[in-house]
Amino acid sequence: MTTDETGSARSSRLFGVIIGLCLAMLAASALVWWPGIAGWDAEDKYGQILAGDYNDGQPPVMARLWSLLLVFGKGPAALFLLHNILYWAAVALIAVALAHREKPRAALAAVAVAALPPFLAFNAHLYSDVGLAVSCLAAFALTFHFGARHSRMPLPFLAVVLVLLAYACLVRDNGVFAAAPLIVYAVAPYSRASLPKLLLLMGAMVAVCIPMSSVANRHLLGAEPANAVGPLRSYDMVGISRFSGDLRPFAYNRAITPALLDACYDPVRWDQIGKGVCRALWRDLGYRAWVGHILAHPLAYARHRALHMNAELFVLTPRQKPERLYTTRYPELPRNAFERENRQVLKASTDGALFAPVITFVLALAVLALSSTPAARREGGLQAGVFYLSAASAIYTGSFALIGVASAYRYEQFPMLAAFLSPVLYICARPPENGALSWGEKAGLGAVVAAMLVVIAGRLAA
């Protein structure tokens, strides 16, 4: 047998191993989590489907997709299965592309990352966050599969990628922050634009897509407006007044005092504003009042947002309680036999340092900085994939600093997954002749270790 034939046989075996592992993980996930875990969000969407009455309080595109899948049977099973099929098909595409580049260890490492416990646990749930994660991952995988081999993606596949990313933009209010870098990657993988120009382009896409998503929700998906931005404006107004002492926006109600703001403000989530005596604060004063209050008190706004971002990233936070088991009012949405164990896995992940969102945020930023050289992006192969995947992770997580109104571990599924995959791709793309770690690589590794120590200290001190 010639050397080429030996290499071909070895590659074929590796492809078989990759596909076999991904199919086995898909089957195991379906067996353990069937027919999926439905919480309050899923119950709300299912109720809208049954009533035929949709609103944009939560993005309606997932409910519309779910309604189409009900032809396969009532309940969550079809949507749950679609999410998991997309997930493992995407992982297989990424791993096979790495195998084509004769990177067998990296290919198996990509599968191992995808099989980490929190990601398997996330995929059991019918969350919009899972929809965002699997659609972005599948879009990236298709683009990367061709880009890693320096092949131009055929138009039918490009159309599929853009449909997946359009879904990602619509399925979460801030989904466009994850989708924008991946759209640029799909359309212009060999871009010679400078980094500032690329970031400006992504920012313009965000600015255009956010109002367009509202139009799509109402006119394309038939959802009634539910003032989805109202909680953000109210939350920011309360937070700014809490730290600035300026109560003028709340002059409409004399019962609103600094003591009430102290009692009602929660840096973790906005929900407290709508409960009990705090309902006096729940009033959307509109865009002009919101922006005016931010401009009048930028330091108070920054403090409010920094405290919320600490909660989003689980930095200096106490150990989390497992989310309570939820029984929906619909018999078609049954409880999963392993739901308690699922929530224990997610709790253990939030309590540990390795899977804290701040770790993956710092990791994504480090890889993004290392892969942002023009030469790397012009190469268009592995290096371009590293850059755009880490950018999608970092930009999406960073968006919560501006628009986050609640903190939940599931929000970080896609950026965590992308952040863990990025260094796998970076190591593959790193030229062997580079030898020892560069100063930049040492600095990035040091930043990740420092973030871990901060998280550990926060957990021990809480």
**Residue 377 covered by a domain:** yes
Are 264 and 369 found together in one domain?
Answer: no
pLDDT score of 440: 76
DSSP 148-163: TTT-PPPHHHHHHHHH
Same domain, 206 and 241: no
Residues 200 and 343 in one domain: yes
| CA-to-CA separations, 397 to 32, 176, 246, 296, in angstroms, rounded | 30, 12, 30, 27
Are 194 and 275 found together in one domain? no
Query: CA-CA-CA-CA torsion for 307, 311, 316, 318, nearest 10 degrees?
Result: 130
Position 293 scores a pLDDT of 93
Amino acid at 391: A
Note whether residue 216 is domain-resident: yes
Contact indicator for 45, 66 with CB cutoff of 8 Å: yes
Structure tokens that stand for 367 in this block = 């890889």
Please name which of 374, 394, 383, 387 lies closest in space to residue 447, comparing C-alpha atoms. Answer: 394
Instruction: Tell which residue, 353, 351, 363, has the closest CA to residue 447.
Output: 363
Residue 44 placed within a domain? yes
Please indicate, yes or no, whether residues 241 and 201 belong to a single structural domain of this protein: no
Burial state string for 112-145 with b = 16 or more CB within 10 A and e = fewer than 16: ebbbeebbbbbbbbbbbbbbbbbbbbbbbbbbbb
Helix 413-429 to helix 128-147 angle (10° resolution) is: 20
| Cα-based distances in Å from 254 to 156, 257, 262, 280 | 61, 7, 16, 10
Asked if the structure places residue 290 within a domain, the reply is no
- Segment 260-312, tens digit of pLDDT: 888 889 888 888 887 888 888 888 788 899 999 999 999 999 999 999 999 89
Mean pLDDT by 10 residues, the chain (462 residues): 52 85 95 89 87 84 92 90 96 92 88 94 93 96 87 90 94 91 86 74 82 84 79 90 90 86 88 82 85 94 94 78 71 82 84 84 90 63 86 94 88 94 86 70 83 78 66
Q: What are the phi and psi torsion angles at 327 (to 5°)?
A: -110, 120
Domain check: are 261 and 405 in the same one? no
Buried b (16+ CB within 10 A) or exposed e, 71-103: eeeebbbbbbbbbbebbbbbbbbbbbbbbeeeb
Domain assignment present for residue 102? The answer is yes
User: Are the C-beta atoms of residues 93 and 144 closer than 8 Å to each other?
Assistant: yes
Measured CA to CA, the distance from residue 358 to residue 378 in angstroms comes to 30
Half-sphere exposure (Cβ direction) of 234: Cα atoms closer than 13 Å? 22
Distance CA 372, CA 376 (A): 7
Q: Are residues 42 and 190 in the same domain?
A: yes
In DSSP terms, which residues pair with 125 in a beta bridge? 37
pLDDT value, residue 314: 87
Half-sphere exposure of 295 (CA within 13 A, CB side): 6
Domain count of the chain?
2
CB 290 within 8 A of CB 236: yes
Asked whether residue 264 falls in the same domain as residue 404, the answer is: no
Of 308, 321, 361, 318, which Cα lies nearest the Cα of 457?
318
- What tokens does 270 get? 């906005």
Examine residue 324 and state whether it is found in any structural domain, yes or no: no
Residue 331 C-alpha from the chain's centroid = 30
Question: What is the per-residue pLDDT for 380?
Answer: 54
Asked whether the bond before 211 is cis by omega within 30 degrees of 0, the reply is: no
Tell me whether residue 292 is in a domain: no
- Is there a contact between 423 and 363 (Cβ–Cβ < 8 Å)? yes
For residues 62 and 56, the answer to whether their CB atoms sit within 8 Å is no
Same domain, yes or no: 98 and 235: no
- Assess whether 335 and 246 both reside in one domain: no
Q: How far apart are CA 312 and CA 75, in angstroms?
A: 31
Phi, psi of 37 (to 5 degrees): -110, 120
Q: Which residues contact 105 (CB under 8 A, 6 or more apart)?
A: none
Token match 């994660």: residue?
133
> What angle in degrees, to the nearest 10, is found between the helix axes of 230-244 and 298-312?
120
For residue 203, give its domain range: 12-225+331-461
295 located within any domain: no
**Could you say which of 283, 298, 322 is where a domain stops?**
283
- Does residue 188 sit in the same domain as residue 269? no
- In this structure, the answer to whether residues 263 and 355 fall within a common structural domain is no
- Asked if residues 110 and 367 have their Cβ atoms less than 8 Å apart, the reply is no
Q: Is the pTM of this model over 0.95?
A: no
The predicted pLDDT at position 159 comes to 95
> To the nearest 5 percent, what fractions of the chain are helix, strand and coil?
75, 0, 25
